[in-house]
Structure 1
């Protein structure tokens, strides 16, 4: 074997063992980060965001250092040193014989994931060049950017077939806004959504997100990497919510805007808002809870036990209903129901869907929670059957949600142009105004 081939073989061996060892390294980093985040569950999202970012950075640096050390050890030897000699793992020799295949499979998946990211960036660049403009909302965005301390010029583009606003770009940022929002959403709510996107631009979140995509592409095979990345995105959304609330008319208006956006996506079967940004209802509840606190509350109050915070939030007595969750048309079939998988899913008619009544006993007991329902839409648009898939923890609230869904009307699902029965799913979220 010539020296270049020996060096290449040693490099493949070192990379393969680095990938193998990251299985336990990533698990250790994930556990330690999870413990730290659990201890900081009452802290500000900025601190949890920093901890999650540190965890993901450790997931990248540890295998990088491991690979560098293995390559150095291999380069110091006469030719390539078999990595099995210093793995410290049982059955290392047997595993080492498959390193070429392990590295080849890893490289193939990395290329596919990086190509996906590149295609997404190319689509954004194409939309920025070709999609429409709106002079009125561009002026509104410019004024809002100035008020929020964003010095860079932020472009606005109106895009069809987009589920929710998207921010992209570091040096020349752009906000892509669904055309349906400009024509259908109240101006003050759209203003709140734009403030949230400008908060991401102010914090340079797009650059951090690109680095996350790179880490996900290189270390795609480890669940801890994906969990940390999701946690980073969730905490990032909370930070952006806090920054935007001050320029969006307060936390309640931003919460209303998020709820309205989710309702529109629900009606049009589009992906849930911020799919990579965590639970939307947690964000809405947090905004409402934040507004309910006195302005003079100290930082230590934000770190109290969750039960204490919920008790204060439940002091309000008037109920509010928020619709959330993605629709899963045709995928919640129950035993014994002859339901045809539809070509076109059903749609809710929000104008004819009255809010369910909060039971008096539940209101007096300050009960709150989220119930997930599965319900069968008949060919006439009525609800033929409804069942609780996940309880709120309070039977009376579950029953009230079942009664409420029975009062709603739907456009039935269709198969080959004819109406058919189909199952759907929905969440009722009981929370105070």
Structure 2
């Protein structure tokens, strides 16, 4: 359990910079593709959000894999004094259980919110109002779009804007006020837009977005990418609806009427965001010819791939291990090393540096001389003395581990 907690904690911490990197790369690519088709930008934003999910998942899985080489790197780094932030990282490591607990609590609350949204949709599917005329028209339009599944239409009194939900059994929830107040040809254009979501299976992508938002709620890049996906998705659906009805201006007028009605802005967690209505209307009325600097896009992707490749190589060749707490000697168990009679008589002095192996039990099971005092007897006496000591073993992710540490014995005559 400690391994899982520490792996999850460090994966969450590392995603702070990983998410920022992915967000910057995605923003640069989308900026270069601002004149491209919405479908292309939509694919890029979805790929970036998927990377936000997969990268920390990979870090989590990799941290759970046994890696003896990592322990050796840490030991050498400590011995050589090239790991100056070990105290800071060890402090963070000790607080990871609290961090993971807080993260789980927030994820649970957000998941409950999403579950309530799904339950509300299911209830409206069962209890929502029915309209035989518009149900028949919706089925005809679905057939024109090549949708073979039955699409259900329900009228909801308290809804702010149309919602499409479900994949296997899709349902379109339509505000009852729209049916009563909007001209039939405009309402038909809005239904065509909702059917475009059904044909593209956008509900599944929306579920993936909710998973990413729930798990990585603390990172602004995730929310920005998710919002950008919803915006581009609406533009793609507008294009499909305009082609189906053959009247882009009719859909633009329907969106304008929807904006004028000034419904309440509150939406459920799983409701599709209509995006910027004004921008959607402008695009329908005066569409722009798609263009894009694909050479710059390829260059940006190449740069991002190079950065990720360098990161992977660094992880493989010189990645730092998870922080650990070093072994601590119990001085009550130690006895003063005996001065060899021959060296004492000869007046030998010096400093010996020992490297000793501490087992998981805290016992010293081996030692070696790293730097001799210049006298073999003093070196051997130091080794004998350290092997009599007991230690509180070093810990990695809360578990005792075997480790090598160093100590100096200074032999002086007074």
Q: TM-score normalised by the shorter chain: which range applies?
A: 0.5 to 0.7
CA distance in 2, matches of 1:277, 1:207: 17
Normalised by the size of structure 1, how large is the TM-score? 0.62
Q: Distance in 1 between matches of 2:258 and 2:286?
A: 20
Q: Which of residues 8, 14, 35 is equivalent to 2:7? A: 14
Which of the pair is proportionally richer in helix?
Answer: 2
CA distance change for structure 1 residues 75 and 165 in 2, over 3 Å: closer, same or farther?
farther
Query: Is contact 2:167–2:204 with CA below 8 Å preserved after alignment?
Result: yes
The alignment partner of 2:155 has SS state of strand
In the alignment, what sits opposite 2:202? Answer: 205
Q: Distance in 2 between matches of 1:107 and 1:88?
A: 31
The equivalent position to 2:113 in structure 1, one of 109, 116, 123, is: 116
Describe the superposition over 1:266-290 as per-residue Cα deviations: whole angstroms up to 9, x where unpaired: 1x54459987342111111111112
Distance 2:116 2:13 in 1: 29
> For residue 131 of structure 2, what is the aligned residue in structure 1?
134
Helix, strand or coil at the partner of 2:290:
helix
Q: CA deviation at 1:248?
A: 2.7
SS of corresponding position for 1:220: coil
Partner residue, 2:25: 32
Tell me if 1:57 matches 2:50. yes
User: 4+ residue stretches of structure 1 with deviation over 4 A?
Assistant: 74-78, 87-90, 268-275
Distance 1:51 1:89 in 2: 37
1:87-133 Cα shifts (integer Å, max 9, x gaps):
99772111111101100000000011111111100110011011111
User: For residues 88 and 284 of structure 1, what CA distance do their matches in structure 2 show?
Assistant: 57
1:48 aligned residue (30, 41, 45): 41
User: What is residue 278 of structure 1 aligned with on the other side?
Assistant: 275
Correspondence for 2:385: none
Alignment of 1:396-415 (within 5 A): none
For residues 213 and 75 of structure 1, do their structure 2 counterparts lie closer, same or farther at Cα, with a shift above 3 Å needed?
farther
1:208 CA drift (Å): 0.7
Query: Aligned partners of 2:146, 2:176: CA distance in 1, in Å?
Result: 26
Range with greater deviation from structure 2 (36-45 or 243-252): 243-252
Name 1:302's counterpart in structure 2.
290
Question: Secondary structure of the equivalent of 1:302?
Answer: coil
1:147 alignment counterpart = 144
- Matches of 2:245 and 2:266, distance apart in 1: 24
d(CA) in 2 for partners of 1:219, 1:288? 38
Change (3 A) 1:240 1:174: same
Q: Tell me, what secondary structure is at the counterpart of 1:246? A: helix
Question: Which of these two proteins has the greater Rg computed from alpha carbons?
Answer: 2
Matched residue, 1:174: 171
TM-score (norm 2): 0.64
Kindly state the Cα deviation for residue 76 of structure 1 after the two structures are TM-superposed: 9.6
Q: Distance in 2 between matches of 1:194 and 1:276?
A: 16
Unmatched runs of 5 consecutive residues or more in structure 2: 294-414
In structure 2, C-alpha distance between the alignment counterparts of 1:104 and 1:279, rounded to whole Å: 37
Q: Per chain length, whose mean CA-contact separation is higher, i.e. which structure has more relative contact order (CA < 8 Å, sep 6+)?
A: 2
User: 3-state DSSP class of the match of 2:154?
Assistant: strand
Give unpaired runs (5+ residues) of structure 1: 1-7, 294-300, 306-433
How well do the aligned residues superpose, as a CA RMSD in angstroms?
2.7
